[in-house]
Structure 1
C-alpha cells in the first residue's frame, strides 16, 4: 500500500499440541506433597496444588506450579532440590518435540483465530493436530498462485476488508488481550489509519455473544477443537462465522480471502458448517453462553485507555468484582510484584502493617458487602479484615507500574497473574492493573495496556498502596475514588488534586524507573514508537498510514466497500 505493489501471502499457523499429562509417579509424589502440607496445617497449599494438578499440562503450567511449589518450599514442606526436580519433570511432560501451539486459548491460538477471521488462512491449514501434509500445503499454494497479481487479494486489502469479521471472531472466541494491540499494529503496517478506538467502535456496533465454551479441565481445549475440525464435524472459524450470522451479528460476507473466494462463497457449502453437528462436549456453540464477550476498552479519571478480557471471567466471577471498590496494592515493577505475590503471608503482612486504613475498610464493607454490616460493624481492625478476606468482601487492585513500551518494552504480565491464580485466597480478592501487556486473565479482571504509561506521566505513576478505585467493569470504567466522600457513603471521582499533591513522589519513581531502564540495552529500547492504544509501532509507520479501512478497500467485484 502507500503506492507500493501489493504483497501476496497465505498463512500456515502451527498445529495444536495435545495437552500433556502428569506421569503417574510424579502425580503420586505431588499428592504426597499435598498431604504433607495438610499435616503441617497448610491447607491452602494442599488445595491449590491439587487444583493445579487437575489441568492439562501446557506452556503456562510451569508458572502455575512454580507459585504453589515456591510457597510450599518457603514453609518447609519440600526442599529446594525437590522443587527443581518437580518443575523439570513437569516441563518434560508438557512439550512435544514436533513443536506447535499449546492447547490453551492464549495468544498463540487466539492469533490463529484472528488471522483466520482476517481471511488470511486457508481452511486446509487452519486447525490441525499434526504438521500439515503436502496435500494441504498444495491446496493453499494453488489458491495463492491463482490470486497473485490481483490487487483484491493483496494481504493488506484482505486484512482491511475483513477487520470487522476478525474483531467479532476474536470477541466471540474469547481471544487474547494481546491482539488488541497486535491488530492495530498490523493495520498500521498495512497502511490503514487505525487505533484501539476503532476496535472499540466496531466492538460496540453490535453485541457479540459468547459462542466459545472452552475449558482446560473438562476436555474442551483447542486440541479438542482441532480434533472436531479434522474429523469433518465442523469447520473451525468458518463454523464460528456461520454461527455469528445465525445469531444476528453482521459480518462482511463479500470480503475476499486467501482461498481466492469470498466468505459468502466459502459458506455456501453447508457440509460441516453448523456447530450443532458436535453433540459431545462442543466448543463452538450455536446458542450463546451469554449475550456479551470479548475484550473491552476501559477509560477512567486517571488514565486514557486500558483493556480488560471480560470473556475470561464467567458471569459469577464478573459479579464478584463489578461495581466494587478496591484498595490499591502498588508495585513499581514486575519483579517487586512477583516477590510479594509469592509471599504466602502477604495478606497477613498487609493486615499487620495496617496498609489499608480502618475507616476505609469500614467504608468498603458498607459498599461491597452491605449484607454483613450489621453483624460486623463493631469488630476491631484485625477481626473485620479477616472476615472481609474470608468472605471475599475485601477487594485489592494489584497495580504493576513501569512496564509500558517506552519504560521496559511492555513485557507480558503473565507471571504475576499466575502467582495470583495459584493462591486460592488471593485470587478471589484481586484485580490486576498494569501498563504492561496481558494475554489472559486472573480470577478477577486483568486490566492492562494502560495509557499513558508511567514513564510518560500517566496517572498510574501517581497511585499508591491504600488508594481506592471503583471497578465499573460492565460500565467500562475504572475510577479513582475520593477517600473522604467514600467514607461518607458517596462515590465521588476526582484525581487532579492527587496528581498535583504527589508530584514529588512521581519524580522519585521516574528516577528509579530510568535507572531500571538501563537493564535494557540502549539499542533495544522502544524509542519514537506509538503507545499501546496505537499499536506500539515506529512513529514513521503510524504517520504514513493514510488509508481509510472503511472506504479504501477493494472487493472481488471491483467495488469499494462502504461502511
Structure 2
C-alpha cells in the first residue's frame, strides 16, 4: 500500500500520532486509506446533496475493509456564473481541481480515491487528476435532476434562459417568466437535459471510470445511493487488484467515449474535456478523430436541447449501457477495454438491452446515420471549430450572411436584445477564447436570446469562446486560432460575408488573400482583459481550444 510509506514502522510513529489524535483506531490506520473527494457545496444545484453521496461511498469503502477519509474540492456553477465576469472562471477551475486533488493525494499518501463531482468542469477536472495520479480511483457523480413541468410541457434550465429572450421580445410576461423559473429546476442534481454535466457523467461511464448508470441514475434516488456504496466497494477491489486509471484510460477507451458522445449528441464542451483528460493520460485526441468517429456513428437518442426527452427518459430506456449495447450491433465499440468494475466493457454489456425504442432508437433506424457533433475548418478556423450539428435547424446547415462583430459577450447580448440583429446575420463574438476571455466563457445567454426571440432558424453565431451544452441553433464555437492568438476571427469587420457549410465541414469568410494580409499588417493585439490574479497566470499558460485548453 502507498500509505505504508507514511504510516508504518518507527518513522511512521509521528503520522500515527496525528491519526490517533483525530480519533482513528489502530485498525483503521492499518487499512488502505481511501480519499473521498467531495465537491459538495451550497451554491451548485448539482452539488448541494453530494454529502449524501459521500456518506454512502464512505460506507462502501468501510464495508470492503478500507478507511475512508473525506476532503473537499471546489466547484463553480456555470448557470450562476453565466453572463458576467464570473464565467471566466469555470473552465480555468478545471485545472485548479486537478491540481488540488494531486496535492492532497500525494501529500497524504492515499491508496485510492473515490471522486464525487456532478457538474460541468468538476467532472473532467477529477478525471484529469485520476489520470495524472494513476492510483486506483473511481468516479461516482450526484446524478441528474428530474425535468420540470408546466402546463403539460417538460422544462429544464435552458427553458428559463430562452424565456428571457421571449420576455425581451414581448412574447412572455414577467409573471410567466417567473413561473418558468419556479418550475424548471424541481430539485437538486445536474441540469436535466444532455448538457455538459450530464454529457461528462455519461462519458465517465463510457470511459470505464464510473459504474454502469453513473450518468443516468436519478439524483435523490435509492439507486444513486446504492451506486455510491458500490463505488466505495469497487475502489477497494481496484486497490486489491492494482487496477489503475491508466489501465482503463487507453486510446480505445477514449474512442469508445467519443462514439457514445456522437450517438447521443452530447455537449460540444466534450471536445474540450476529453482531449484534456487524454492529455493527462499521455494520449493525443486530435479533432480529426472526433470527425472520423462522427461519420460512422449513428445518432440514436435525441435529448434536450436537441429533442424533447430528458435524462430520466434515457435512464428509463436502459441508460448508457443500453445505448452502448445498441452500438455493438455494428461493431462500433472496443469490448475488450478494462473498466473499474474489474470487467471489460463487453462483460458489462452482456445482458443489457434497450427498454424503450422511442428514446433510444434501434441502430437500424437512427435519427440520422452520423453523429451529433461536427468539426468545421476553413480560413476562419484553420485549427478547427465545433458545432452541435444535431441541434441546428435544417435551414441553417448552410448559411451565407453578413458579419455583425462584437469584442465581448455583453456587447453581443445588448445588440440582440435591442433589435440590432436581423434575419440572415452572422453574429461574431471574439476575444472570448481561452487566452482572450480569459477562460473561454460559455455563450448560453446570446444563443438563448436568439432562440427566445425566434431567430434560431435565421441567425448564426460564431465565437472563439464556447457554448453551453444547453445551446441549440447554428452556434459554432471553439474557433481556433482564437482572436488573441492572431486568428482570422480577430480581423473580421462588420459586413464581411461569412459562409457556413456544416454538411461539408466548412467555415470561411469571403476575403481575398490581399485583404487578409492588409488587415494583418494593421492588426494591433489588444491589452489582456485581466492583468492580475489566477486568470492572468492562466491566460499565459493555456493552450488552444483545439488541444483541449490544457496548460503548458
1:139 is the counterpart of 2:267: no
Counterpart for residue 159 of structure 1: 249
Shift of 1:413: 0.9
Counterpart for residue 325 of structure 2: 242
- If asked which structure has higher relative contact order (CA below 8 Å, sep 6+), I would say 1
Shift of 1:65: 1.4
Counterpart for residue 458 of structure 1: 487
1:333 is the counterpart of 2:408: yes
Say if 2:259 and 2:294, in contact at 8 Å, map to a contact too: yes
Measured in 1, the distance between the counterparts of 2:133 and 2:378 equals 42
Measured in 2, the distance between the counterparts of 1:346 and 1:216 equals 23
Deviations 1:517-553 (A, max 9, x none): 45986556422121101111111xxxxxxxxxxxxxx
Of residues 300, 322, 339 in structure 1, which corresponds to 2:397?
322
Of residues 421, 440, 452 in structure 2, which corresponds to 1:422?
452
Say if 1:71 and 1:343, in contact at 8 Å, map to a contact too: no
Counterpart for residue 542 of structure 2: 529
Pick which of 468-477 and 136-145 moved more: 136-145
Measured in 2, the distance between the counterparts of 1:2 and 1:327 equals 46
Say if 2:323 and 2:360, in contact at 8 Å, map to a contact too: no
Q: Secondary structure at the match of 1:240?
A: helix
TM-score if structure 2 supplies the norm length?
0.69
Structure 2 portions without partners, runs of 5+: 1-128
Counterpart for residue 8 of structure 2: none
Q: Secondary structure at the match of 1:465?
A: coil
Query: Which one has the bigger strand percentage?
Result: 2
Q: Secondary structure at the match of 1:242?
A: helix
Say if 1:308 and 1:445, in contact at 8 Å, map to a contact too: yes
Of residues 43, 60, 64 in structure 1, which corresponds to 2:162?
64
Counterpart for residue 514 of structure 2: 497
Measured in 1, the distance between the counterparts of 2:381 and 2:541 equals 21
Counterpart for residue 145 of structure 2: 17
Of residues 390, 404, 407 in structure 2, which corresponds to 1:311?
390
Map of 1:71-90 to 2, 5 A cutoff? 71-72=169-170, 83=174, 87-90=177-180
Deviations 1:22-43 (A, max 9, x none): 4x7xxxxxxxxxxxxxxxxxxx
Of residues 437, 460, 481 in structure 2, which corresponds to 1:431?
460
TM-score if structure 1 supplies the norm length?
0.68
Q: Are residues 172 and 218 of structure 1, via their aligned partners in 2, closer, same or farther at CA, if it must alter by over 3 Å?
A: closer
Say if 2:265 and 2:302, in contact at 8 Å, map to a contact too: no
Shift of 1:505: 5.9
1:407 is the counterpart of 2:436: yes
Q: Are residues 341 and 183 of structure 1, via their aligned partners in 2, closer, same or farther at CA, if it must alter by over 3 Å?
A: same
Measured in 2, the distance between the counterparts of 1:2 and 1:208 equals 28
Counterpart for residue 551 of structure 2: 538
Counterpart for residue 50 of structure 1: none
Q: Are residues 219 and 309 of structure 1, via their aligned partners in 2, closer, same or farther at CA, if it must alter by over 3 Å?
A: closer
Measured in 2, the distance between the counterparts of 1:2 and 1:432 equals 35
Shift of 1:346: 3.9
Counterpart for residue 380 of structure 2: 302
Deviations 1:491-540 (A, max 9, x none): xxx4x322222247632xx33xx26445986556422121101111111x
Larger radius of gyration: 1
Say if 2:194 and 2:470, in contact at 8 Å, map to a contact too: no
Q: Secondary structure at the match of 1:438?
A: coil
Structure 1 portions without partners, runs of 5+: 25-53, 348-388, 390-394, 483-493, 540-563
Shift of 1:255: 0.2
Counterpart for residue 136 of structure 2: 8
Counterpart for residue 298 of structure 2: 209
Deviations 1:389-424 (A, max 9, x none): 5xxxxx322111110010111000111000010112
Q: Secondary structure at the match of 1:136?
A: helix
Counterpart for residue 222 of structure 1: 311
Measured in 1, the distance between the counterparts of 2:336 and 2:131 equals 25
Measured in 2, the distance between the counterparts of 1:3 and 1:109 equals 20
Q: Are residues 55 and 397 of structure 1, via their aligned partners in 2, closer, same or farther at CA, if it must alter by over 3 Å?
A: farther
Say if 1:120 and 1:258, in contact at 8 Å, map to a contact too: yes
Shift of 1:260: 0.7
Counterpart for residue 127 of structure 1: 216
Q: Are residues 218 and 459 of structure 1, via their aligned partners in 2, closer, same or farther at CA, if it must alter by over 3 Å?
A: closer
Pick which of 469-478 and 62-71 moved more: 62-71
Shift of 1:109: 1.4
Q: Secondary structure at the match of 1:340?
A: helix
Q: Are residues 442 and 55 of structure 1, via their aligned partners in 2, closer, same or farther at CA, if it must alter by over 3 Å?
A: farther
Say if 1:144 and 1:260, in contact at 8 Å, map to a contact too: no
Measured in 2, the distance between the counterparts of 1:2 and 1:12 equals 13
Measured in 2, the distance between the counterparts of 1:445 and 1:19 equals 25
Say if 1:212 and 1:285, in contact at 8 Å, map to a contact too: no
Say if 2:440 and 2:464, in contact at 8 Å, map to a contact too: yes
Q: For the aligned residues, what is the CA RMSD?
A: 2.9
Q: Are residues 203 and 535 of structure 1, via their aligned partners in 2, closer, same or farther at CA, if it must alter by over 3 Å?
A: same
Shift of 1:89: 4.7
